[in-house]
Amino acid sequence: MIEERLGCSIREYFEREGEDRFRDLEEAVLDELTQQKDGVLSTGGGSVLRPNNRRHLRERGQVVYLKSNPDELFRRLRHDVNRPLLQVADPLTRLRELNAARDPLYRETAHFIIETGRPSVPTLVNMVMMQLELGRAVQ
């Protein structure tokens, strides 16, 4: 959705306008989308950095934190050139730093935490669906 509005990739926008301008746009889009009744949002990892985003996500929906450790993320992302914050000399160290800073924010925002490990996509989807169903049953 953000790239559609920008008319370019997030990486291009990041390089041209900087992270703060990107986070402003991200906040506006999350505010708008979290006001819709139905849907699934897949946010970027930095979306929890702003208090308004955390509040809107937590209050307006059911948030599932798909938790992966930095080493696993590095294995998945080591060849990804589209993530601006990982375009550094040592992306594994950067992932560890980002995880240390963001994990408490993810936990603050999430209704459910699922340790991802290495399941297949269908297995992970089933895990999320089961957790959401269990959460509804408890309410």
**pTM of the full structure:** 0.84
Q: In whole angstroms, what is the distance from residue 31 CA to residue 50 CA?
A: 12
Is a pLDDT exceeding 70 seen at residue 137?
Answer: no
Q: Estimate to the nearest angstrom the gap between the alpha carbon of 99 and the chain centroid.
A: 12
- The mean pLDDT of the chain is 90
The SS3 assignment for 67 reads strand
Provide CATH code, domain 2-138: 3.40.50.300
Collapse the DSSP code of 91 into the 3-class scheme (helix H, G, I; strand E, B; otherwise coil) and give the result.
helix
Q: Please report the pLDDT score of residue 39 as a whole number.
A: 85
Instruction: Output DSSP code: residue 61.
Output: S
pLDDT value, residue 70: 92
Q: What is the mean pLDDT of residues 114-139?
A: 82
Report how far Cα 96 is from the mean position of its chain's Cα atoms.
16
Least confident residue range of 1-15, 32-46, 73-87, 102-116: 73-87
Domain ranges of the chain: 2-138
Please give the pLDDT value at position 133. Answer: 86
pLDDT in tens, 4-15: 999 999 989 989
d(CA 95, CA 71) in angstroms, rounded, equals 8
Tokens of 129: 């669906």
